Amino acid sequence: MIVTMTNADFSTEKPRPSHFQPRLDERNIHDAWSSWNGYKLAEYYFEAEYEYFCIRNTCGTYDICPMQKYLISGPDAEKMLNRMVTRDVTKMRNNRVSYVLWCTDEGRLIDDGTIFRLADDSFLLTCGSPSTAWLKKSSLGFDNVTINDRSDELAALSLQGPTSCAVLKRMGLKGIEQAKPFTIHHFDFFGDSLMVSRTGFTGGLGYELWIKAELALELWDAVYEAGADYGIHPFGEQATNMARLEAGFIMPGYEFNEALKTVHFEHDQTPFELNLDWMVDFKKPHFNGRAALLEESRRGPRYTLTKLDIEGNKPAEGAFIYDSQDCSRHIGYVTSGMWSPVVKANIALAMIETPYLKGELWAEINYEKELRHYSKIARCSVKEEPFWAPDYAKVTPPRDY
Amino acid sequence: MKRYDAIVIGAGHNGLTNAAYLAKAGLDVLVVEKNDYIGGAAVSRELHEGWVYSSCSYVCSMMRQSLHRDLDLSRHGLMLVPYLGTVNFDDHGNTLVSYHGEAAAYNELKRHSRHDADAMFRLQADLGRYAQVIRKTLLRTPPDPTSFRIRDIQELLFLAKQFGALGQKELYEYIRFFTLSAADFLDDYFETDIVKATMASAGIIGTALGVYSPGSSYILLHHVMGDIDGSIGAWGLARGGMGAISNALASACKSYGGEIRTNAGVDQIIVKGGRAVGVALSSGEEISANIVVSNLDARRTFTKIMDRDDLPPGIFEKAENFKIRGSSGKVNIALSGLPKFTNVPDNPYANRGGQAFTGSMETMERAYDCWKRGTWSDDPFIESVIPSAWDPTVAPPGQHWMSNFIQYCPAELADGPWTPEKRDQFGQTVVNKIERYSPGFKDLIVHMEVRTPFEIEQEVGLTEGNIFQGELTIDQLLFNRPFPGYAQYRMPVKNMYMCGSSTHPGGGVSSACGANAAREILMDLRRPNTVPEDDCYDD
Ligand SMILES: Cc1cc2nc3c(=O)[nH]c(=O)nc-3n(C[C@H](O)[C@H](O)[C@H](O)COP(=O)(O)OP(=O)(O)OC[C@H]3O[C@@H](n4cnc5c(N)ncnc54)[C@H](O)[C@@H]3O)c2cc1C
């Protein structure tokens, strides 16, 4: 018997369209979709490497509508956030953005995100995973704070690459070239306010554009019209992942497992293990995880996330790290690895048992060639600096290309 | 007076590579360049305000990744960006787009012939196999097949092993391949002219051979053996033009303490007691050094800046007879907008890469016939790229420049020497042909630089304007390059070396010649080898 399901309703299964969806559909010519927080998200639009080069050579846009966005406001908002995250929020001036982490009482990383200080008593917190429950918990004891989940109402587009400033200038955003990294600016757009921050996840020059969802398509069209002569192209998750790895940025699901979702003991990570010491401020008043982190900072992290330059060209994704060429002692594992086209190096991030960092490091890389599987042992050297950190990314005003 | 450890004559990309490695090894190195800019045939020049031309070479694929990485050229400002989507135009207005994606490429071929679409898989696999072997030789010094020195024997065994790994049948094929014409080679795969012509065009670029001449199939391989980030056969653009490669090499060289002097043309290599001891500049200044390295082509090195009496018998003649026939022209055009072409899908993946005005196998052969008669065809083969469609640094936003490489253009015309008028007529021929496929093209032209072999020789010093510094035929390849017995970068005069494209592995922007020569020099100085011997690709 053949059963037809003409009336079947799959809506709960199907990813939700992004606020930019009609434009994304036009551009995603290979229908390469995945999803993020229930929203449809492109793996790539044409091809990952092509889009990666747009990020590095011209400019591209990444749909960040699926990112979680919480408006946290009220007289206690600053105190509440300062209690939650490991950095000192009181040092943030208005219209500034700060990268932040928040931890459990045990000092294990729950998530990372960015705080936008919109006013003395108003903050926008953005992060990768839904965090309503944790925010609620974190606000206990703070009476004068409201948390408003704006994830579905705010559209956001990340514009990244060396020509990105030129595009915004062409779009008519007067004075945008004076925007310094991590600052916020507002522009009139169709009678509404367009918020632009000089932020991003690619390590190069870039901006993020924030607008109410109803104006999403107008924003897209304005950006693409202005970008036509500057090599603009949408990019997906894969190109993002390449760019962020070159910049040395961590990603949930690769470098860290969110603490609240971790089953096995200490299979989550701490800021120190992730080499984010500079993000933990012990000088400020009490914050979540402080005691445990203080203890860890004294004894040193068990693992350390390390940047590796690996011999040869075979990406070391998932490779084991050993302390010698004969692989006698297993001391860590690669969390992300790729051949970097702009650096021309085989780069990786790896979690390595801290005491072994001083010695030799060898990766056992598995790869495949026309269906035959191989493994090779490759020497690794430790890099202190991000693999890719061009000077032009920090300059104000930025160059036009 | 200061005495350098080494002087490199010529700041072409190979000279700069050589100097960088010598300086990196701790030598006191000076590069002397006749022009007031560096780069030789890998150069970017702003000849019209706002537009930066890659005046000679325009695309990159042969650059050795391991050298790029080892010299940290990215930190010195080099970024290679792969481009894609090249359209071939035939005589009848048909087009064949070389799509990047396998499915799209297959569908496009199938439009012309299902047979050829299928056969393309076999061709790509065969070329991939041939390329794999030849790639392994690029960063190695060719062995001398007549020598019994251990190193030569080891290297011969290495070669034998690489070729042996092909299997018997493929080995026969490979040997045959070196002497086949591009046409004969491709006849075994394809039945449609447009597909053959598309593939054959790589067999004539830069050479004084035609698609039907024996040896042109190797030229084809020479043009597809490179890669961009491991994607074999892919070509890329250097951000900022090809000069970005030379500039990054120069910056690396200086970071190791090397010196570079421009406006310092060499008149003479000074030889005393059978040893090179320095150079005399055209200004009259003499600079001494323990080692002299020439980045110039073999003809120029031995017949122009050396005294015949300083050379052992026979070398001068060998240099005179070195095959270095000019056959290419280059027309760089600044455009006020992006040209539109007929019969091409209007999307950025199909037609923003290059244009190959291939015509047909016969049209290409006819153009070759004209060259033989000392003139240029009014229907030449043109290979074009619009770098500004990719690179935001080489033209004002919304405006463009188009690089046009023309095959063929004779070094000497039958009706007397090149004149500016004839040069401009040649340029006009090229513009007329493009206009046929892109109506309105002429109206977009803002500025033009027309280069015949005459200009290329005058400016870059490539004899006859031969882009490879010497023909790439089997008699001038591997251990025969530049001459049998002199393929290991050491020249017949003591303490003198060659490092340009006249040496193995030949023309193209690869840095391999310069790096290999540096390795030999360091070996003679009994210094540890610091030059990579292999590309970092384990293929
Ligand atoms: C028109 C054209 C297009 C090409 N297209 C490509 C391409 O797209 N891709 C590719 O890979 N390759 C291409 N090639 C080939 C490639 O550019 C050359 O093979 C390569 O650049 C040669 O480099 P080199 O360092 O060996 O020599 P050169 O670049 O020839 O360098 C020699 C240097 O010596 C200097 N010199 C000459 N005489 C003297 C003297 N007496 N004293 C001091 N200095 C002197 C010259 O000015 C020059 O700087 C092209 C070449 C040409 C001409």
Predicted confidence at residue A114, as pLDDT, reads 98
Question: What six digits make up the tokens of A388?
Answer: 């890719």
Predicted confidence at residue B233, as pLDDT, reads 86
Q: Between these two residues, B168 and A3, which has the higher pLDDT value? A: B168
- Give the closest of B74, B393, B538 to A342, CB-based: B74
Predicted confidence at residue B230, as pLDDT, reads 84
Average pLDDT over residues A336-341: 97
Q: Are B223 and B202 in contact (CB under 8 A)?
A: yes
* Other residues' Cβ atoms within 10 Å of the Cβ of residue A394: 11
Average pLDDT over residues A245-253: 97
Q: A282-305 pLDDT, tens per residue? A: 999 999 999 999 999 999 999 999
Residue A342 and residue A226 share a domain: no
Whether residue A229 lies within 8 A of chain B, CB to CB, comes out as yes
Please state, in angstroms and rounded to a whole number, the distance separating the CA atoms of residues B262 and B254. 14
Q: Is B469's C-beta closer than 6 angstroms to any atom of ligand 1?
A: yes
Q: Are B323 and B481 in contact (CB under 8 A)?
A: no
Last residue of a domain, one of B231, B250, B273: B231
Residue B426 and residue B333 share a domain: yes
List the CATH number of the domain containing B345: 3.90.660
Residue A312 and residue A226 share a domain: no
Is A397 within a domain?
A: no
Residue A94 and residue A59 share a domain: no
Whether A1 shows a pLDDT value over 90: the answer reads no
- Give the closest of A228, A312, A345 to B538, CB-based: A312
Is A271 within a domain?
A: no
Please state, in angstroms and rounded to a whole number, the distance separating the CA atoms of residues A318 and A330. 13
Going from the Cα of B255 to the center of ligand 1, the distance in angstroms, rounded, reads: 23
Task: Determine the atom of ligand 1 nearest the C-alpha atom of B264.
Answer: 43
Please state, in angstroms and rounded to a whole number, the distance separating the CA atoms of residues A39 and A67. 9
Distance from CA of A47 to the nearest CA of B (A): 9
Q: How many domains does chain A have?
A: 3
Residue B397 and residue B352 share a domain: yes
pLDDT confidence tier of residue A196, bands split at 50, 70 and 90: very high
- What residues of chain A lie within 8 A of the CB of B350, using their CB? none
Going from the Cα of B468 to the center of ligand 1, the distance in angstroms, rounded, reads: 8
Q: Is B15's C-beta closer than 6 angstroms to any atom of ligand 1?
A: yes
Going from the Cα of B532 to the center of ligand 1, the distance in angstroms, rounded, reads: 23
- What residues of chain B lie within 8 A of the CB of A346, using their CB? 536
- Give the closest of A47, A58, A339 to B392, CB-based: A58
Residue A145 and residue A230 share a domain: no
Whether A6 shows a pLDDT value over 90: the answer reads no
Q: Is B240's C-beta closer than 6 angstroms to any atom of ligand 1?
A: no
Average pLDDT over residues A121-142: 97
For the CA atoms of B411, B415, B418, B420, the dihedral, rounded to the nearest 10 degrees, stands at -150
**Count of pairs with CB atoms under 8 A, one residue in A, one in B:** 62
- What residues of chain B lie within 8 A of the CB of A339, using their CB? 229-230
Task: Determine the atom of ligand 1 nearest the C-alpha atom of B226.
Answer: 11
Please state, in angstroms and rounded to a whole number, the distance separating the CA atoms of residues A64 and A70. 14
Task: Determine the atom of ligand 1 nearest the C-alpha atom of B501.
Answer: 26
Residue A177 and residue A109 share a domain: no
Residue spans of beta strands (DSSP E) within B342-481 = 354-359, 381-385, 400-407, 445-451
Question: What six digits make up the tokens of A167?
Answer: 């595009």
Q: Which domain holds residue A211?
A: 12-67+153-247
ipTM comes to: 0.96
Q: Which domain holds residue B171?
A: 127-231
Residue A49 and residue A161 share a domain: yes
Going from the Cα of A289 to the center of ligand 1, the distance in angstroms, rounded, reads: 63
Is A4 within a domain?
A: no
Residue B142 and residue B74 share a domain: no
Predicted confidence at residue B533, as pLDDT, reads 87
Which H or E element spans position A346?
Answer: strand A345-353
Q: How many domains does chain B have?
A: 3
Q: Is B260's C-beta closer than 6 angstroms to any atom of ligand 1?
A: no
Look at A311 and B65 and tell me if their CB atoms are within 8 Å: no
Report which DSSP code applies to B301. H
Q: Is B461's C-beta closer than 6 angstroms to any atom of ligand 1?
A: yes
Chain mean pLDDT for chain A: 96
Please state, in angstroms and rounded to a whole number, the distance separating the CA atoms of residues A170 and B319. 57
Distance from CA of B432 to the nearest CA of A (A): 27
Look at A339 and B229 and tell me if their CB atoms are within 8 Å: yes
Residue A241 and residue A221 share a domain: yes
Sole residue written with tokens 């935001």: B392
* Other residues' Cβ atoms within 10 Å of the Cβ of residue B249: 31
- What residues of chain A lie within 8 A of the CB of B249, using their CB? none
Q: Is B237's C-beta closer than 6 angstroms to any atom of ligand 1?
A: no
Residue A81 and residue A188 share a domain: no
Q: Which are the contacts of B320, defined by CB distance < 8 A and separation ≥ 6?
A: B299, B303
Whether A110 shows a pLDDT value over 90: the answer reads yes
What is the β-pairing status of strands A122-127 and A109-119? antiparallel
Look at B390 and A341 and tell me if their CB atoms are within 8 Å: no
Q: Which are the contacts of A105, defined by CB distance < 8 A and separation ≥ 6?
A: A288, A289, A291, A292
Average pLDDT over residues A155-179: 98
> What residue owns the CA closest to ligand 1's atom 15?
B508
Whether A2 shows a pLDDT value over 80: the answer reads no
DSSP code string of B160-188: HHHHHTT-HHHHHHHHHHTTS-HHHHHHT
Going from the Cα of A341 to the center of ligand 1, the distance in angstroms, rounded, reads: 26
Look at A231 and B392 and tell me if their CB atoms are within 8 Å: yes
Q: Are A65 and A20 in contact (CB under 8 A)?
A: yes
Q: Are B280 and B270 in contact (CB under 8 A)?
A: yes
- What residues of chain B lie within 8 A of the CB of A163, using their CB? 392
Residue A116 and residue A237 share a domain: no
Q: Are B98 and B88 in contact (CB under 8 A)?
A: yes
Task: Determine the atom of ligand 1 nearest the C-alpha atom of B451.
Answer: 1
List the CATH number of the domain containing A365: 2.40.30.110
Average pLDDT over residues A69-97: 98
- What residues of chain A lie within 8 A of the CB of B398, using their CB? 228-229
Is B369 within a domain?
A: yes
- Consecutive 10-residue runs of chain B (539 residues): their mean pLDDT? 95 98 98 98 98 98 94 97 95 94 96 98 94 92 93 92 88 89 97 98 96 96 90 93 98 98 98 97 98 98 97 96 97 97 91 93 98 98 98 98 98 97 98 98 98 97 97 94 96 97 97 98 95 73
Please state, in angstroms and rounded to a whole number, the distance separating the CA atoms of residues B342 and B340. 7
Predicted confidence at residue B259, as pLDDT, reads 98
Going from the Cα of B462 to the center of ligand 1, the distance in angstroms, rounded, reads: 7
Q: Between these two residues, A100 and A6, which has the higher pLDDT value? A: A100
List the CATH number of the domain containing A45: 3.30.1360.120
Whole-angstrom CA distances from A131 to A253, A366, B78 are: 16, 37, 42
Predicted confidence at residue A178, as pLDDT, reads 98
- What residues of chain B lie within 8 A of the CB of A338, using their CB? none
- What residues of chain B lie within 8 A of the CB of A311, using their CB? 536
Q: Is B14's C-beta closer than 6 angstroms to any atom of ligand 1?
A: yes
Residue B71 and residue B89 share a domain: no
Residue B438 and residue B363 share a domain: yes
Q: Is B41's C-beta closer than 6 angstroms to any atom of ligand 1?
A: yes
Going from the Cα of B41 to the center of ligand 1, the distance in angstroms, rounded, reads: 3
Last residue of a domain, one of A128, A149, A170: A149
Residue of A nearest to B338 (CA): A229
Is A400 within a domain?
A: no
Look at A53 and B398 and tell me if their CB atoms are within 8 Å: no
* Other residues' Cβ atoms within 10 Å of the Cβ of residue B35: 17
Which H or E element spans position B232?
Answer: strand B231-232
